[in-house]
Structures are given as structure tokens and as C-alpha cells.
Amino acid sequence: MPVLLDPAAAWPLDLLLKHVETDGLAWELEGGPMPRIAGLGTLQAAGPLEISFLSSARYGAQLQQTRAGAVVVSPEAAQALREGARAGTQPSFVRIMTAQPYLLFARLAQWFDRQRQGGLSPGVHPTAQVAPDVRLGEDVCVGPHVVIEAGVEIGAGARIGAGCAVGAGSRIGAGTLLYPRVVLYHGVVLGERVIVHSGAVIGADGFGFAPDAMAAARGDAGRWVKIPQLGGVRIGNDVEIGANTTVDRGALDDTVIEDGVKLDDQIMVAHNVHIGAHTAIAACVGIAGSTHIGARCMIGGAAMIGGHLSIPDDTQISAATPVPSTIDKPGRYTGLYPLAEHADWQRNAAVIGQLGALRRRLRSLERQAEAEGAAGAD
Amino acid sequence: MPVLLDPAAAWPLDLLLKHVETDGLAWELEGGPMPRIAGLGTLQAAGPLEISFLSSARYGAQLQQTRAGAVVVSPEAAQALREGARAGTQPSFVRIMTAQPYLLFARLAQWFDRQRQGGLSPGVHPTAQVAPDVRLGEDVCVGPHVVIEAGVEIGAGARIGAGCAVGAGSRIGAGTLLYPRVVLYHGVVLGERVIVHSGAVIGADGFGFAPDAMAAARGDAGRWVKIPQLGGVRIGNDVEIGANTTVDRGALDDTVIEDGVKLDDQIMVAHNVHIGAHTAIAACVGIAGSTHIGARCMIGGAAMIGGHLSIPDDTQISAATPVPSTIDKPGRYTGLYPLAEHADWQRNAAVIGQLGALRRRLRSLERQAEAEGAAGAD
Amino acid sequence: MPVLLDPAAAWPLDLLLKHVETDGLAWELEGGPMPRIAGLGTLQAAGPLEISFLSSARYGAQLQQTRAGAVVVSPEAAQALREGARAGTQPSFVRIMTAQPYLLFARLAQWFDRQRQGGLSPGVHPTAQVAPDVRLGEDVCVGPHVVIEAGVEIGAGARIGAGCAVGAGSRIGAGTLLYPRVVLYHGVVLGERVIVHSGAVIGADGFGFAPDAMAAARGDAGRWVKIPQLGGVRIGNDVEIGANTTVDRGALDDTVIEDGVKLDDQIMVAHNVHIGAHTAIAACVGIAGSTHIGARCMIGGAAMIGGHLSIPDDTQISAATPVPSTIDKPGRYTGLYPLAEHADWQRNAAVIGQLGALRRRLRSLERQAEAEGAAGAD
């Protein structure tokens, strides 16, 4: 773990907590003396200058051994510690009690992250190539070797990392951050406070081809005619897009990602997909064209969502699950061949191709047994 | 949807159709008055200045409601509209009748796409680094921050987007387009009219390692020795390669992609793979080393093709299907665990590991029933 | 296959073998006259100026037809050739006998690869942006349009390809090679002799979000709060990382890849994953967060490894296999729906959802048969 603050610059815990943006989340300190804090750590790794947190009751044992200076805990965990103390086991750390320990820890992490961030200098780096008519808001940072084409608008405080390419007519909202080597094609719209990680490509052509019937008629079978992808990509506010993820532009209408969607690395969003607000999608997921995913869904890593289908709001798809057709009602869905030792897998997989026949044979035995039962009942 | 032409610059439909390259595809207009056209749209989204198209009879209902100025339709759909008109339902749009509506629509889209394209200025951008011996054809565009190493040849009219890197001795055919941030390693050959999308990497080393038996003999087990990948990559004419797709160079012979192949985003083509002409492969497909895929195949998204196998011409592989061994005859192939609600999946998946045993138990019951049947027949 | 040496510059085989670094691996020549060698090739493609090798007895037939000037063979294959010669079939090529033919061939390939490599010129290209406090070892090459932020250290002989971005405080070991357009975020540590292929992104944020309970309490349900990823990435010596692979930084602790690990293209390594030494992972594999993979494992392409689980040393996972939970003992594991023609697949897959019921029906028939058997025995 990197050092987050120089230990000499450590803050007293109570002072630090007053500077952290907790967005109305209440907390209370218990125990003492008040430690000085220079960073964050897991229960196992944290030292006396660091805050840790108890995310789940099943890590309670780690709480006994932690060397952390302070730990964020739920009221229930704090109560258990108080009872332990009455029984003679005094905790060695200060408790930060709150109804949402993980959320408070996230806010602490955000505070430390802000202390660390040097990042880009404000202004346009002299090696960047910015078209004359580009409109840049206040305090926009444009890094080295960036290319920004004509007609682009970039909102206040946005940061464009080294080597990004922004295509003609795209719009980037205020406070948005592009890490190095992101590519936006022409006509891509990003909202405010969006984060796009390196290597992501937004607005490449959707995969659209028509069979070339004229060439086929001339005896040149199999050729494809490209359907130019004339739509764009619209991405809402507070979206995060992972490294090397691709979001293709629409064929005619736009590909749309609503507010607050979180996409991990190496996700593929095909043309004319629509992803509802606050849906979170883990890495390596593919979503085929024109599919509509609802709001607040959670999609596990490497799930593969077919095209031209829809998934309702608040649906969960398990990791590595293919979704070949529309899902009608919310719930959790899975489709995953179970893991086995290879020899066992071979033995059982050989039966998969006979399942229809097996069912018929079973039915035939059942009929025979029924007939005998009936005969026996005569 | 972006505006494709300024409405003030809209073209009369009949004039526009005469300017569109239809490659011999016949069309006929029906109805009037002749609308002015500034763009294209889906049946639902198109307005009076736009052309739409009816791709399938099942969207016939949308035809009743469309506000499009003109619609591309098949002769059968036109006939149905004529009958509807006789029955009193006059269509509000001009019909563009043709035997291949989708193909004609593709040609219209290409025409609009050409009006839009500003793109790169001709010539070599002053920030590009081009080795002295590089040979550039007429009207080649080389964007900002491009790097082109020694011995490269680039054909007439090719466009190399911002920040591309082209390795030593590579050859790029006439009319080929590299979007920003494409990487070609050394010794990569691209044909004519190839399109490569951003983030694609062509010619990286194939994954070749030999166990280091000498290190193992010294007690240092498990080490790998790299097999340098000395082959190249050869890509034919009219190929399209999607964003963040990777095509590795061959170990000794070349990796080969024939004419007209279409690869979507995030596809992985390993060393010494051979893909036949006009095969189309959807996103997130992986193809392991030395596999041979025939011509005119269609491979669904996230299919995973094993190594050292072959797939015949004109074969279809369903999405999310693993192909572990050679396929002997063309057809459509699938291998995909069916989706279910998680609790149902759990109940049924638990039986997968017992399928071999289940089959044996069924066989044993059948023998018993046969024996009884035989006994009963005595 | 590219020409590796100009034929006019071909080396006599025995002289060449003396220049190849064989790391103690013994070899012996048999037959003659001694050919001149200018390259390497497969048995089928190699000509008289090239060396080939026999990797497996099953390619023995190709040995009869090869035009190669020399072939690397095992002692057993050499013996078989001697017997053939006594029977009258004199091999047309010189034999290079060794206990490890593939390993010797790898060393030959490395020698040829070194002859070819021109690559980057030493020194810092004038277009590179290098922060003033960056420390560069001897003979470091920094290519065009590279950006290196403050506090970075780069070891002797490392080569940083065109357009790479290296984040603040990262460390790159001696002899390490970054191909063009690699991105390292801040605080990434790479060991010595590491190879990173183009488009790889190391150190992007792990996928960490907490439900925003405060927003939910205000009626704004479903929002996520970002957990800043404060850990780093540590990568050992002799690691290779494929094109467009992503390795995310840890949440608090580091993501760790040990010495000698080989990662193919388009692999996703999530935050806080730990991969043991000399493990080799084929393309398109995803590894979810906090998973621990042992040493010397081999993981097939497109396998999908779940989060918070562990895989022991020396385990093999088949291609396209999902691993949803911890594996307790080494072995080979598979979980893969078998491929079938689509119509067969449909018929059989329809039974998957009834497997639990099928098992119950079978059990019920068995009970009935037992009862009858018992009755019959009365």
C-alpha cells in the first residue's frame, strides 16, 4: 500500500473527520486517546496511524488482532465491543460508529484521494493539438499530445489526460476526467463528473453490414456492404467507464448510457444499446446491439447479453451467464455449467447430448410402470 | 440522432437517389409530392425530411405511424400499401421500391456519411514522426502524433489517425483508414480499403513459451522460455477490424485474415490463425492459436474458438458458444447453458454432476423392466 | 514468413549454433554437408536455408517431406532416422539432436530475433515529455510522444515505446520493454525484463462502489459512491503482459503479479488479485477481485475466475471454464457446455430445466421397482 500522507503530516482523527465530506452521514467516536491518522488500511494491514473498517460481522476475528489506530464500525459491532470490554477485552483502537460503515469509509478514502492528486496542470499543454473553434470551460486541463477536433465543447474543470483523442463535435461535461489514451469519436456526448479510464474507445462504428446481393448476383457471393453508423453516443452524469471498454455509436439513433451507470474494464456495449440509470456492470461483459437494460441492475463479470432483448429494472445477472432472450420479471438469473474435475466433467458432459433421449426413456418406463400398476390393480 | 445535413441544404429525393451509388441495384418511386431529404432515421424517429426503411414485415405496424418523408420498401410491401390505399388508407410517405431495401438503405447511409466526413487534412501533420525512407502514396493523410518507422509503405489515399504507431516494414494498402491510436507492430501487411478502429493492436507477439527444462534441472521449476514470434500478419482487402481488437503475429508463418472479413470490437485472434474470406465475427470472440476458420462463416458474440482446430466454410456458431474441437460439416452449432432463475438453476445444476450415474440407473431400471417383461411373456 | 537474414549473410549451421545462448542445453550434429542458415521455419514451409524442428512424433510424416536444411530432433527421432537410413531412406537434412528440441528451437528463435531488432534509438526522443525529477538508468530508450510524470524511476536498458504514458511515482525495472501506447497509472511497479504489449493498461481503478444509503434515504435510490482505489500494482521480474490486457490497482493493498507470470492478450486482472510465480494465462481470461491464484498454474483462454476465491499451485483450468468458487486441490478442472448442432442442442437443452424433476422421477421408479422386487421375493 502506498503511503497516503507523510506520517509527519498526520491529522488528529477528530479533526480529520470534521474535514471529510460525509453528506449528512452521522458518526460518533468512542474510546481514546485520539490517534493521529496518515492513511487507511485493511484490518490486517493497517498500523497505528491508519483507519480501518469492519465491513461484515464475519471479519470480527480480525478485529481482535488489528493494529489499526481507529476502526469504522456499525452500532451493533460497537455494542459487541462494549460488551467485550466489560468482559475484560479492551479494544486497542478508537471506534468510529456509524450506521453505514462502508459508506463512511468510502468518504474517508475520497478525502485521502484528494490529498494525493497532483495530476494534470491547468491549461492546455503546448504539445496538444486543439482546433481553433473548440470551447473550453474554466480550469480545463488538456494534457500532452491530446488531439481535439473542431466543434468540441469541454465543461469547466474537465481534465483530458495525455494522448486522448476527441472527435469533431463531441461534448464533455464539467468536472469530467479522461485518463490517458482515451478515444472519443465524433459526436460523442459525455455528461458531468464522468470518469473514463485509459484505453476506452467511445463512438467507434457499430457492427452493421448488409449482404451484398448485387455482388452475389454477379457470382461474387458472401460480400458485405457496410452500413455507416450515423448515430452517436450519449452518456449521462456520474458515469464511470473502465479501462479498454468500448461503447459503439448507434446506427441511426444513439447508444445511450444513463446517469450513474458504472462500467468496469473491457466491457463491450454495442450499437443502440440503452443502459438504465445506476446499473453496475462488472468486467468483460458483452452487450449485443439494440438491447435495453433497465435501471439499478447488477450484471456479473463476463456475462454475455444477447441483442434485441430487454432486461427489467432491478435485475441481477450472475457472472459468466449468457442471456439469450428477454427477461420478463426482475430477479436473479444464472446459466453456468458447473465446474468439475476434468474426468468427472467428461463422464457427465457425455450425457448432455442424450438428455432428450433420456427423458423419453424415463417417460416410457413410467408408462410401463403405470400400466403394470393398473394391471396389478385389476 | 445527429443532423446529417442542414435542413436548408436538403435535397429533393429523386435528385438525391440519382447521386447515390447503387451499384446496379434498381429502384422506383411511388407516391408524391417529392419530399426534400436531409437525413435518415428509423420508422419511429424519422421526420418529414428523412428517409426510413422497412427491414421486415413484422415492423409493418410502425409503417402506419411513421412521419418519415420517404420509406424504402420491398415490392411486396409496396403492393400491400397499394391495396391499403385502395381500401382508403393512403400512405403519408413516398415509397422507394427495390428488391433489396436494406442494401439500398446502406447505400443511402454511405452517401450521407460521405457528406459528413471532414476528417483528416491531407498531408503529414507536423507533429508526426515519419522515418526518412517511408514511402507515402498520393493524398495520404498522416495525423498528429503518429509514429511511422523505417521501411513502411502506405498506399494512395490511406488515412492514418492521430497517435497511431506503425512498426518497421509494415505495408498499408490504398484507401485504408486507421482511426486514432491504432498500433501496428513491425512487418504487418494491410490490404486496400481496410478500416481499423481505435485501440486495435495488430502484430503483437503470439503467446508462445516453452517450459525451461534446464532451469527445472537446476531446481528452479516452472520457468518459461519465450519463443520469439518471427512470423507476421497479413490482412486482405476490404477487411474491417473493431475497436480494441487484437490480432497477434505468427510464430513462424503468418497470421492471415482474408479479403472481406469483418471483425467487431474486442476480438482476439491468436498467432497463426487463418480466417477465410467474408467471414463475419461479432464482438468479444476469442480464437486460439493455429485455428483455421473457413470462408463466409458467421460467429456470434463471445463465442470461444479453441486452438489447432478447423471450422468449414459457411458455418454458423451461436453467441457465447465454446468450440473445443474441429467441426466437420457446415451448419449451425450451439453450446450454451440455458438461463434460469437462480434458485431453479441451483436445483437443476446440482444434477449435472450426476448425469453419468443417472444414465446408469435408468439403464438398470430398463434391464429390470425388460427382464420382467420377458418373464411376463413366459 | 518474413526473411530473417539476407541469404547472402547466412551463417554455417555449426558456427551459428556456437553463437546461440543455449544455457547449458547440449546438442550434437549428425549428417552433412553443413548447410548455411538464414532463418527458421515449420517443417512444411522451411527451405534449404532454414532450420525446422520436430515438436512431436505425430509430425513424423512431415519429416519425410521437409525441404529444411536442418531439423532439431530428439535422440529418439534421430535414432528412428538412423534406422530409416539403414533401410535406405537417407534424410535430406542435417539433424540437430538434443534432449529438449523445442527449448533449443526457442533459443535459436531468440538469436534470430536479436539480429532483427532495430527498434528504438537510445536516449529520450525530443517529443517525449519527461518530468524534471525522473531518474533514467543507463541506455534507457524513451520513444516519441511518451509522457513520464514526476517521481518515476526507470532501470538501465529499459525501452519505453512511442506514446506510452507512465504515471507519477511508478518504477520500471532494468531491461523492461513497453511496446507503443502502454499506460501505467501512478504508483505502478514493474520488475526487470518485463515485456508489456501495446494497449495494456496497468493501474486503472479497481471496480469499487458502495450503495449511497444517504441518497436512498432522500428518495434517490440506486446511486453509487465511488471507493477510491488507493492501492497500487506490483509486478515481478520476467513477466509478460499481452496486448490490451488490463491490471487494476488495489483498493487498499496492492494487486500483485509474481515473477515469471505470462499473461496473454485481453486478460482482465481485477483489484487485489494475487497471481503466483510462473503461472501462464491464455487470452480473454477475467479474474475478479481479491482472488488468489497459485504458482505454476495454467489457465485456458476465456476461463472466467470469480472473486474472493483461491486456486492452488499447479492447477489447470480448461478453456472457457467458469470458476465460481475456491478449488481445494490441484488438478485439471473443466466446466463447459458441450457443442452440438443447433437443433440437437435445442432438444437437449430443453431438458436442463427439468433435471431436478427427472432425478426425482427416476428415484420414484426405483422405489417402485424395489418395492415390487421385495414383493416378488415374498
Rounded Cα distance, A9 and A23, in Å: 25
Which uninterrupted H or E stretch holds A344?
helix A342-352
**Prediction ipTM score:** 0.94
Task: Report the pLDDT value the prediction gives residue C278, as an integer from 0 to 100.
Answer: 98
The answer to whether A198 contacts C165, with C-beta atoms less than 8 Å apart, is yes
Continuous segment of H or E residues that includes residue B328: none
Task: List chain B residues with CB under 8 Å of C197.
Answer: 201, 204-205
Give yes or no for A228 touching B (CB within 8 A).
Answer: yes
The pLDDT of residue A94 is 96
Chain A contact for C131 (CB, 8 A cutoff): no
Chain C interface includes A319 (CB < 8 A): yes
Which of B53, B342, B344, B372 to mutate against chain A (most A CBs within 10 Å)?
A: B342
Average pLDDT, chain C: 93
> CA dist A109 to A103, C184, C185, C209, C227, Å?
10, 22, 18, 11, 6
pLDDT for res B22 = 84
pLDDT band at B119 (very low <50, low <70, confident <90, very high): low
Q: Give the separation between CA C109 and CA C113, rounded to whole angstroms.
A: 6
Q: What is the pLDDT of residues A163-178, one digit of tens each?
A: 999 999 999 999 999 9
Q: Which of B271, B278, B292, B308 is catalytic?
A: B271
Q: What is the mean pLDDT of residues B168-180?
A: 97
pLDDT in tens, A223-232: 999 999 999 9
Higher pLDDT among residues A221 and C154, named by residue: C154
Please indicate if any CB of chain B lies within 8 Å of the CB of A161. Answer: no
The pLDDT of residue A376 is 63
More confident residue, C242 or A4: C242
Residue C243 sits at the chain A interface (C-beta within 8 Å): no
- Among A233-247, C49-63, C162-176, C317-331, the range scoring the smallest mean pLDDT is C49-63
Number of A to C CB contacts under 8 A, please give it. Answer: 254
**What local confidence, expressed as pLDDT, does residue A278 receive?**
98
Q: Are B324 and B317 in contact (CB under 8 A)?
A: no
* Options C197, C271, C274, C278, the catalytic residue: C271
- Residue C335 has its nearest CB partner, among A118, A302, A345, at A345
- Please report residues of C whose CB lies closer than 8 A to that of A244: 199, 201, 244, 246, 266
Q: What is the tens place of the pLDDT at every residue in C154-200?
A: 999 999 999 999 999 999 999 999 999 999 999 999 999 999 999 99
- DSSP H or E stretch at residue C215: helix C213-217
CA dihedral A360, A366, A372, A376 (to 10 degrees): -170
Is the confidence at residue C118, as pLDDT, over 70?
no
**What's the rounded mean pLDDT across residues B140-152?**
97
pLDDT attached to residue A243: 98
Interface contact flag, A204 B265, Cβ < 8 Å: yes
pLDDT (average), residues A146-153: 97
Cell numbers at B228, concatenated: 520469439
Closest-CA residue of chain B to A210 = B103
A298 in contact with chain B, both atoms CB, cutoff 8 A: no
Q: Do B197 and A204 touch (CB under 8 A)?
A: yes
Judged by CB atoms closer than 8 Å, whether chains meet at A198 and C204 is answered as yes
What residues of chain C lie within 8 A of the CB of B358, using their CB? 358-359, 362
Q: What's CA C179's distance to the chain center, in Å?
A: 16
Q: What is the pLDDT of residues C253-275, one digit of tens each?
A: 999 999 999 999 999 999 999 99
- B273: nearest Cα among B259, B295, B254: B254
Mean pLDDT, residues A122-146 = 96
What are the tens digits of pLDDT across the range B17-45? Answer: 999 988 889 999 999 899 999 999 999 99
Confidence bin at A60 (pLDDT 50/70/90): confident
pLDDT of residue C119: 64
CB pairs under 8 A between A and B: 254
Residue range A89-112: mean pLDDT, rounded? 92
Residue A264 is given by DSSP the state -
- According to DSSP, the residues that pair with C333 across neighbouring strands are A341, C317
Three cell numbers at A361?
426413456
Chain segment B240-251, per-residue pLDDT in tens: 999 999 999 999
| Cis status, amide bond into A33, omega within 30 of 0 | yes
The reported pLDDT for the residue numbered C376 is 63
DSSP C87-134: TT---SSEEEE-S-HHHHHHHHHHHHHHHH---PPSEE-TT-EE-TT-
| Mean pLDDT of the A54-81 span | 88
Do residue C302 and residue B304 have CB atoms under 8 angstroms apart? yes
pLDDT of residue A166: 98
Contact across the interface for A228 and B336, Cβ inside 8 Å: no
Contacts of C322 in chain A (CB under 8 A): 302, 319-320, 336-337, 339
pLDDT of B378 higher than 90: no
Predicted confidence (pLDDT) at residue A1 exceeds the cutoff of 60: no
Q: What is the mean pLDDT of residues C11-40?
A: 91
- pLDDT at residue B302 in the model: 97
Q: Is A9:A16 a contact under the CB 8 Å cutoff?
A: no
Query: How many residues are given for chain B?
Result: 378
Dihedral, A212, A218, A221, A227 alpha carbons, nearest 10: -10
Residue B346 dihedral angles phi and psi, to the nearest 5°: -60, -45
Q: Nearest C-alpha of chain A: how many angstroms from C47?
A: 36
Using CB atoms, pick whichever of A2, A260, A342 lies closest to residue C333.
A342
Please return the burial class of C101, using the count of CB atoms within 10 Å of its CB with bins 0-12, 13-18 and 19+: buried
- Any chain A CB within 8 A of the CB of B126? no
Span C110-116, average pLDDT:
84
The residue of chain B with its CA nearest to that of C296 is: B222
Maximum mean pLDDT: which of A86-90, C55-59, C148-152:
C148-152
What is the per-residue pLDDT for B122? Answer: 83
Closest-CA distance, B135 to chain A, in angstroms, reads 25
The answer, yes or no, to whether residue C378 has pLDDT greater than 80, is no
Judge residue B18's burial from the number of C-beta atoms within 10 Å of its C-beta, 0-12 exposed, 13-18 middle, 19 or more buried: exposed
Highest averaged pLDDT of the listed ranges A43-52, B48-57, B265-274: B265-274
Among residues A56, A64, A10, A62, which one has the least CA distance to residue A34?
A10
Residue B3 has pLDDT above 80, yes or no: no
Per-residue pLDDT, averaged over A317-323, amounts to 97
pLDDT at residue C117, rounded to an integer: 63
Mean pLDDT in residue range C53-82 = 88
* Cis peptide bond prior to C33, omega within 30° of 0: yes
B100–A contact, CB cutoff 8 A: yes
Q: Are A263 and A269 in contact (CB under 8 A)?
A: yes
Least CB–CB distance from B338: residue in C103, C127, C353 = C353
pLDDT tens digits along B333-342: 999 999 999 9
Q: Is the model's pLDDT at C60 over the cut of 90?
A: no
Put simply, the answer to whether B106 touches A225 (Cβ < 8 Å) is yes
What's the Cα-to-Cα distance from C279 to each of A367, B204, C189, rounded to whole Å?
Answer: 55, 20, 19
Alpha-carbon dihedral sign for residues A213, A216, A220, A221: positive
**For residue C6, what are the CA distances in angstroms to A198, B320, C36, C72?**
41, 46, 12, 22
Tell me, yes or no, if B114 comes closer than 8 A to chain C by beta carbon.
Answer: no
Distance of alpha carbon B180 from alpha carbon B246, whole angstroms: 15
Residue A371: pLDDT band (50, 70, 90) is confident
- Answer whether B163 sits within 8 Å of C144, measured CB to CB: no
Instruction: Say if A347 is an interface residue toward chain B (CB within 8 Å).
Output: yes
Average pLDDT (A185-199) is 97
How do beta strands B188-190 and B233-235 pair?
A: parallel
Distance CA C108, CA C3 (A): 15
Q: Which residues fall within 8 angstroms of residue B302, CB to CB, at 6 or more apart?
A: A286, A304, A322, B282, B283, B284, B285, B319, B320
Interface chains of chain B (3 or more CB pairs under 8 Å): A, C
Contact A301 C288 (CB under 8 A): yes
- In chain A, what residues touch B260 (CB-CB under 8 Å)? 222-224
A339-353: average pLDDT: 96
Q: A342 — contact with chain C (CB < 8 Å)? A: yes
Q: What is the pLDDT of residue C1?
A: 44
With pLDDT > 90 as the criterion, what percentage of chain B qualifies? 81
Tell me the one-letter amino acid at B370: E
Question: What distance in Å separates residue A228's CA from the closest CA in chain B?
Answer: 6
From the list C185, C230, C334, the residue facing A345 with the nearest CB is C334
Taking CA atoms, what residue in C is nearest to B243? C244
Q: Is-contact A159 A119, C-beta < 8 A?
A: yes
Is the pLDDT confidence value at B88 over 90? no
| Residue C271 among the catalytic residues | yes
Q: Chain C window 46-85: which residues touch B at a Cβ cutoff of 8 Å?
A: none
pLDDT band at B372 (very low <50, low <70, confident <90, very high): confident
> Which pLDDT belongs to residue C234?
98
Whether A26 has its CB under 8 Å from any CB of chain B: the answer is no
pLDDT tens for residues C272-291?
A: 999 999 999 999 999 999 99
